[in-house]
């Protein structure tokens, strides 16, 4: 493990805080926390600096398992919306650099805004291999938080060829090579199979997992199975991270269930599952199948998911799912971008506004809440807005209030399209209110566990000293928007709600072992089909700066409960 350039803090004792550390079974106990340098320790010397947290809530720093914060597509979305940045200027302070906000903040502002909300880790969820260098450069400029990214391999032409020819061993080696070559954290699949069709034929897409992907003699199901198996075999810290087929289409819950079944007990993460929980006929208005999806996830412990909650207001659809972007462009009538990424992926960006009175938008909002409220295991149904697709990450505090405050939730439910509400269970005045401990799970401990980050998401001895201290407030939105103190790697970044220091977070990545001979198979394909030479493709170590290799874990398949 290389902890190069880790900033050393000093000894700190956080006294009398109410500590929520669900990974260690601590549920609101008043106790002290000791920090030495960048780690939580058992005890510190008596002269250690004290932070009085009396009456305050202490949690591990937030961990975002799925967001889009860096790289070519994010930058394109920034450039596409100058009008959004103009009204949200972020001035510099003695400790922080200037930038711009809006729905997609500049790199520096992204780091600061996560930190200002008490989040200390965030994972960029979709990076084309060829864009990895750019992503690493932007992540280097995203301060304070630790970060990593998932590399898009689910529409990769070379990997499809290996699968088509039944060369599974080489497929495995090639996947491992690609994770290493891009410095990725795990593998991401987006709408597997469809990008090749989309690029090849007018308005083509995949709507069934058993459909043939042109010219490859493969079905999306073959691709999904192969990746789930391979990523588990490689023992990456986080399993295959899947954006299922048919995102946003009515009736897509069937595809989502098929995808989850394909795991056959192996670990898999289903991204922004709200967008994949719709009933109804394709081409017609969707209905909710949220309860069915929640049930399936509840009873299959091999599956983790993040919700991808829709929040009303401005958002930006930003995805490797190019045909989806085309569909959304028709809905929004707004400016948009669609792009092709060589042999690897597609890309689409559409600025979008979710409106309370619009049936579909209200339904999406309600399905997200259904998934949260029906979840029996908060460790596996995790908080996200798929920033900026469902809304900005800065909406998390409001989302937390919706989950914790039944009265507030019912008020909000009354404001939205009632026809949509009637299609869900939200009209039943659900009694469930998330506890602080459950919030700590869905926003910190759960994502950290799903990511295989053993030093994050908890406050036990040896944990990273990424800690957030909130002033307890019955208005949970206000409470979670403005932590009183934020520590990153034991360094006091925010005190009394204001920045007191800057910090360079780490790149988190995985390095699965592979046979170097695989390069001999990949090289000729590059020389024939890529715009860039093979020798210039792999990202060199100097792009890593501050980084940490996260060790893998092999977890055997499990049976449903």
Nearest residue (CB) to other proteins, 81 versus 345: 81
Least distance in angstroms from the C-beta of 81 to other proteins = 6
Q: Sketch the per residue contact string, 41 through 80, with other proteins: x for CB under 8 A, - otherwise.
A: ---------------------------------------x
Least distance in angstroms from the C-beta of 173 to other proteins = 45
Nearest residue (CB) to other proteins, 201 versus 335: 335
Q: How far apart are alpha carbons 434 and 448 in whole angstroms?
A: 19
User: Among 82, 200, 282, 551, which residue sits at the site for other proteins (rule: CB under 8 A)?
Assistant: 82
Residue 138 binds other proteins (CB under 8 A): no
384 in helix, strand or coil? Answer: coil
Nearest residue (CB) to other proteins, 2 versus 98: 98
Of 35-43, 82-90, 410-418, 455-463, the segment contacting other proteins by CB under 8 A is 82-90
Identify the sign of the CA torsion 291, 295, 301, 303: negative
The strand ranges marked E within 128-267 are 146-152, 186-190, 241-243
Least distance in angstroms from the C-beta of 126 to other proteins = 24
Least distance in angstroms from the C-beta of 350 to other proteins = 14
Identify the sign of the CA torsion 200, 205, 209, 212: negative
Tokens of 83: 């009008």
Of 4-12, 33-41, 81-89, 288-296, the segment contacting other proteins by CB under 8 A is 81-89
Which residues, at least 6 apart from 300, have a Cβ–Cβ distance to it below 8 Å?
260, 263, 265, 560, 561
Q: Where are the alpha helices (DSSP H) in 187-303?
A: 194-200, 220-234, 253-261, 290-298
Nearest residue (CB) to other proteins, 86 versus 415: 86
Residue 86 binds other proteins (CB under 8 A): yes
Least distance in angstroms from the C-beta of 90 to other proteins = 17
Confirm if 71 and 57 have CB atoms less than 8 A apart: no
Backbone angles phi, psi at 220, to 5 degrees: -55, -35
Which residues, at least 6 apart from 310, have a Cβ–Cβ distance to it below 8 Å?
274, 354, 361, 364, 365, 368, 385, 390, 391
Nearest residue (CB) to other proteins, 81 versus 155: 81
Q: How many residues bind other proteins (CB under 8 A)?
A: 7
Closest CA to 169 of 241, 226, 228: 226
Least distance in angstroms from the C-beta of 334 to other proteins = 8
Nearest residue (CB) to other proteins, 349 versus 382: 349
Q: Which residue has the tokens 């590059």?
A: 526
User: Among 34, 53, 65, 84, which residue sits at the site for other proteins (rule: CB under 8 A)?
Assistant: 84
Q: Which helix (H) or strand (E) holds 323?
A: helix 322-332
- How many other CB atoms sit within 10 Å of the CB of residue 46? 7
Q: Which residues 332-361 are close enough to bind other proteins by CB under 8 A?
A: 334
Residue 282 binds other proteins (CB under 8 A): no
User: Among 1, 46, 47, 83, which residue sits at the site for other proteins (rule: CB under 8 A)?
Assistant: 83
Nearest residue (CB) to other proteins, 74 versus 80: 80
Q: Site residues (CB under 8 A) for other proteins?
A: 80-84, 86, 334
């Amino acid at each position: 493990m290389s902890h190069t350039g880790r900033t050393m803090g000093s000894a700190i004792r956080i006294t009398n805080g109410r500590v929520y550390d669900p990974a260690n079974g601590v549920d609101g106990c008043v106790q002290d926390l000791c920090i030495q340098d960048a780690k939580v320790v058992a005890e510190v010397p008596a002269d250690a600096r004290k932070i009085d947290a009396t009456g305050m809530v202490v949690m591990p720093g937030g961990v975002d398992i799925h967001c889009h914060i860096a790289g070519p597509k994010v930058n394109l979305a920034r450039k596409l919306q100058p009008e959004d940045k103009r009204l949200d200027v972020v001035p510099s302070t003695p400790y922080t650099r200037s930038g711009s906000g809006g729905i997609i903040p500049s790199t520096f502002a992204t780091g600061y805004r996560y930190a200002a909300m008490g989040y200390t880790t965030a994972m960029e969820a979709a990076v084309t291999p060829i864009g990895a260098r750019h992503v690493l450069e932007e992540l280097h400029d995203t301060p304070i938080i630790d970060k990593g990214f998932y590399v898009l391999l689910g529409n990769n032409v070379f990997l499809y060829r290996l699968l088509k020819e039944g060369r599974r061993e080489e497929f495995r080696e090639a996947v491992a090579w690609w994770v290493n070559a891009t410095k990725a954290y795990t593998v991401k699949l987006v709408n597997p199979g469809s990008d090749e069709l989309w690029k090849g034929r007018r308005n083509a897409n995949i709507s069934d997992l058993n459909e043939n992907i042109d010219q490859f003699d493969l079905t999306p199901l073959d691709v999904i199975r192969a990746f789930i198996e391979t990523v588990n075999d490689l023992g990456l810290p986080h399993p295959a991270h899947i954006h299922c087929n048919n995102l946003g289409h009515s009736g897509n819950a069937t595809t989502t269930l098929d995808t989850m079944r394909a795991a056959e007990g192996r670990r898999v993460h289903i991204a922004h599952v709200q967008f994949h929980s719709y009933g109804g006929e394709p081409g017609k208005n969707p209905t909710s199948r949220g309860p069915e999806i929640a049930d399936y996830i509840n009873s299959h412990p091999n599956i983790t998911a993040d919700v991808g909650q829709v929040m009303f207001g401005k958002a930006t659809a930003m995805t490797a799912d190019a045909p989806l972007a085309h569909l959304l462009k028709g809905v929004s009538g707004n400016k948009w971008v669609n792009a092709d990424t060589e042999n690897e992926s597609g890309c689409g960006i559409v600025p979008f506004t979710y409106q309370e009175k619009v049936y579909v938008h209200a339904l999406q909002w309600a399905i997200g809440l259904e998934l949260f409220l029906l979840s029996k295991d908060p460790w596996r149904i995790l908080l996200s807005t798929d920033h900026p697709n469902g809304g900005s990450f800065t909406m998390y505090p409001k989302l937390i209030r919706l989950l914790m405050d039944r009265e507030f939730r019912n008020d909000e439910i009354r404001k939205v399209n009632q026809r949509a509400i009637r299609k869900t269970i939200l009209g039943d005045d659900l009694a469930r209110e998330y506890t602080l401990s459950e919030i700590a799970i869905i926003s910190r401990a759960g994502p950290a566990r799903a990511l295989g980050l053993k030093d994050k998401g908890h406050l036990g001895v040896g944990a990273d000293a990424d800690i957030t201290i909130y002033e307890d407030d019955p208005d949970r939105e206000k409470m979670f928007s403005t932590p009183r103190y934020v520590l990153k790697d034991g360094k006091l970044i925010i005190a009394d709600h204001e920045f007191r220091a800057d910090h360079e977070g780490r790149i988190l990545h995985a390095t699965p072992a592979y046979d170097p001979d695989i390069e001999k198979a990949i090289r000729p394909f590059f020389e024939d089909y890529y715009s860039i030479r093979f020798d210039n493709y792999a990202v060199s170590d100097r792009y890593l700066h501050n980084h940490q290799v996260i060790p893998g874990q092999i977890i055997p398949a499990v049976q449903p409960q």
